[in-house]
Amino acid sequence: MATLQSQDIVRRSATTFTPPAARHQIKVAKLIDVSKCIGCKACQAACLEWNNLREDVGVNVGQYQNPHDLTANSWTLMRFTEWVNPETDNLEWLIRKDGCMHCEDPGCLKACPSPGAIVQYSNGIVDFVSENCIGCGYCIKGCPFNIPRISKADSKAYKCTLCVDRVSVGQAPACAKSCPTQAIVFGTKEAMLEHAAGRVTDLKSRGYKNAGIYDPPGVGGTHVMYVLHHADKPQIYASLPNNPAISPIVGLWKGTVKYAGMAALGLMAVFGFMHHVVAGPNEVTEEDEENAKKLKDAAE
């Protein structure tokens, strides 16, 4: 039986009170060293096997990436980019393992309107609790990395759990364990930062002067971090956001629900608003963001 229980939870979605978090677990992190990744997809295979998930067999669309995007079953995906370094004119094959970043300040959790459908444990793992999920997809909107996907089978949102079932019995996530070249490492966040620093030193000695760690402050840091050879350009790694941050809409939603819940007033108005901004268009436009900011400012 899992050992992560309510007192391990530090945050839960659509809940205004702060869980007691009586237990303090050591913060964990997974480090993905893109410079060591050979794109073998062992992590994808291990993830599917460990979580007892399978995909439909797809087709080739002119690339190595299969499936072609994250899905409700494929919680991790190797994304391949052929990039010619303008400084050296050499081809670099940038292969980034994509998946949930387990943000310290999780946008999905903040966006989630269903109480307890998304929780964060004191070790930093952000987990989806499917029983509580209503399949609204707000978590996707709230995620600065575009990670969660809704399952066609049960209309609930799914993503990487950081193998919380393994971590809670002292095992590394399945992807990290399988990785043949130690491109994925798992441990305490502190140990991972130290390991990453060593890797950055090595890369700099090999001429990658902009090598660095990706642990973006805009989301409070992440429990899945990258070592990048070109940390000054995260964007070249299959559009890894340069400065990810939670959309202001999400901040507004959290403020409003608290207010609305307490007063039990204007409930439907809030729904109407949220329905429009969040569940409406698939893409959040700049205009939406701007309006949301204004509304938020007004509400506060």
Q: Which of residues 159-218 bind other proteins (CB under 8 A)?
A: 161, 164-166, 168-169, 171, 174, 177-183, 199, 202, 205-206
Compare residues 49 and 297 and give the one whose CB is closer to other proteins. Answer: 49
Binding mask 9-38 toward other proteins (x if CB under 8 A, else -) reads: x----xxxx-x---------------xxxx
**Taking a C-beta distance cutoff of 8 angstroms, is the pair 174, 165 a contact?**
no
Q: How far is 6 from 248, CA to CA, in rounded Å? A: 29
Beta-carbon contacts of 287 under 8 Å, excluding residues fewer than 6 positions away, are: none
Question: Residue 194 or residue 297: which is nearer to other proteins going by CB?
Answer: 194
- Tokens standing for residue 74: 């494929």
Binding to other proteins, residues 50-69 (CB under 8 A): 50, 54-64, 66-67
State the amino acid at position 166 in one-letter form: R
Q: Which residue, chain included where needed, has tokens 């509304």?
A: 295
Per-residue interface string for the shown chain with other proteins, residues 216-255, x marking contact by CB under 8 A: ----------------------------------------
42 binds other proteins (CB under 8 A): yes
Closest separation in Å from C-beta 136 to other proteins? 4
Shortest distance, position 97 Cβ to other proteins, whole Å: 12
Taking CB atoms within 8 Å and a gap of at least 24, the contacts of 199-202 are 199/33, 199/35, 199/36, 199/227, 200/227
Residues 123-142 touching other proteins, rule: CB under 8 A, are: 127, 129, 131-132, 134-137
Q: Taking contact as CB under 8 A, which single stretch among the options 90-98, 219-227, 232-240, 289-297 is the one that binds other proteins?
A: 90-98
- Structure-block tokens of residue 94: 């940038």
Rounded Cα gap, residues 30 and 75, in angstroms: 15
65 is written with which tokens?
């990436």
Token pair 């980034």 is at which residue?
96
Dihedral pair phi/psi, residue 150, rounded to 5°:
-95, 130
> Does the footprint of other proteins cover residue 294 (CB under 8 A)?
no
Stretch that binds other proteins, among 209-217, 220-228, 235-243, 263-271 (CB under 8 A): 263-271
Nearer to other proteins, 14 or 219 (CB): 14
